[in-house]
Structure 1
Amino acid sequence: MFKTILFDLDGTLIDSSDDIFNGVNYALSKYGQDTLAKADIMCHVGVGSLSLIQNILKNDDRSMVEDVLVTYLNYYQENAIEKTKLYDGVVEILQIPEKEFGLITNKPQSIGDKILSGLGVEASFKWKIYGDTYSVLKPDPYALNQIIAEAGVQKNEVLFIGDSGVDLKFSQNAGVASCLFKSGFGAIEIYPEVRADFEISLMNELKNIILD
């Protein structure tokens, strides 16, 4: 039985695609870069803000990358919950008793905390690990292993839910079960060799897994 339930954030608990899309295109346009379609932006989400901008720009100009990154983060900080919303069923899942919930995301803490607070779910998580909490990001398993140690559970009692190949690789690297949320927007192709232990299309379907 799973005792510790851990989630990715973007594309798993929240649909943040519109606010990320608007923030990236705002930053691109400010520096004279072509704006992009949403799909061409969202396929790079999940690997951290720096990699997001680097992958979008495809530019080795460090100064340009830094300028666009800072502009994006400043804009996004101010506009992080304009259109962002919880996926249906998330609140009900987080109310399941006798489970401990955690969050592991590559998003910066200042933005992540603002989103969780604004959507009213910040208190639901015993653990919140952000992209700037440690020196490494997913799929490095360090953050997940820290939670396992603190929770005092076995790895077979932990489930990680995410929407991308990075999340599946993260789970594999830590040796815990993974659940793919297929209604998110994360790119699966980045680690095509990794398969999820479980798959769901609706968050309410998670009940059948964690209450089994």
Structure 2
Amino acid sequence: MTLFMPDAVLFDLDGTLVDSAPDLTTAVNRMLTELGRAAITESRVREWIGHGARRLVARALAGQRDIVTEPPETEAAMARFFVHYHACLVDTTILYPGVREALLELQAMGLAMGLVTNKPEAFTTPLVSALGLDPFLSVSVSGDTLAVKKPDPAPLQHAAQQMGVAVDQCLYVGDSRADLDAADAAGMMMVRVPHGYPGGADAFADRPQLLTLTVPELAERLGQVSAA
């Protein structure tokens, strides 16, 4: 897959720019403890991230990734999860190595940048602020900004519209199958980061040609494309 010089770069948040799995695990386990349930491992939480907080909570209650219907206690458990996650939101969450420097490079190239995440806005805004990402982002679309979230393409299309950039002139950077399906449906090229929370080893098995780069590698490659 050939990388082109976009007018804007959109990023997923969890698993793409930041590693938030430890704090999400803490919040999930505090919630489960309150409900008299056994704690789960961080590795399991990493497999369950990607479709928003509600799906993560429902998966934790069900004890598995693939669920057809939510457990009946999901709504009440969500309220407790929110309380606990607010309390530990940035205890151990960090930017992936080289992300800040890469964003500075992309900014210097004159590229508009934005965020499209399934994380609720109540968590997205303080997390982005705490990690100093605000100066890089001209738009931020959270999981509850619209009535739908990824893998629906609407959040990506909305972000492009807010920036005044054609959808096919945007590049989306993400880590999960939900990211890929949203980008495909929107007609937007996606670059996959090699880390993150894809939700299973076979998540991208049918897309071996998908370009895989860290955010610093992407900045370097776009710099080369720009200079060519």
Q: TM-score, normalised by structure 2?
A: 0.85
Per the TM alignment, residue 153 of structure 1 is displaced from its structure 2 partner at its CA by: 2.9
Within 1, Cα distance between the matches of 2:76 and 2:162? Answer: 38
Structure 1 vs Structure 2: percent identity of aligned residues?
A: 29
CA RMSD of aligned residues (A): 1.8
Cα deviation for residue 77 of structure 1 reads 1.1
**Other-structure match for 1:19:** 23
Deviation at 1:69, TM superposition (A): 1.4
Structure 2 gap segments, 5+ residues each: 63-68
Unpaired stretches in structure 1, ≥5 consecutive residues = none
Moved beyond 3 Å, runs of 4+: 188-197
Identify the match of residue 110 of structure 1 among 117, 122, 125: 122
Q: Distance in 1 between matches of 2:208 and 2:89?
A: 31
**1:123-202 paired onto structure 2 within 5 Å:** 123-188=135-200, 189-190=202-203, 192-194=205-207, 197-200=210-213, 202=214
One-letter amino acid matched to 1:198: L
Separation in 2, partners of 1:190, 1:136: 22
CA contact (8 A) 2:10 2:170 kept: yes
Deviation of 1:210 after TM superposition, in Å, equals: 2.7
Query: What is the letter of the counterpart of residue 150 of structure 2?
Result: K
Deviations 1:95-136 (A, max 9, x none): 122000000001111111111111111221001000111110
Q: Is the 8 A contact 1:179 1:198 kept in 2?
A: yes
Cα deviation code 1:164-209 (max 9, x no counterpart): 1111111111111101111112325456545564101x32101134
Tell me, what secondary structure is at the counterpart of 2:212?
strand
| TM-score, length-scaled by structure 1 | 0.92
Q: CA deviation at 1:151?
A: 3.0
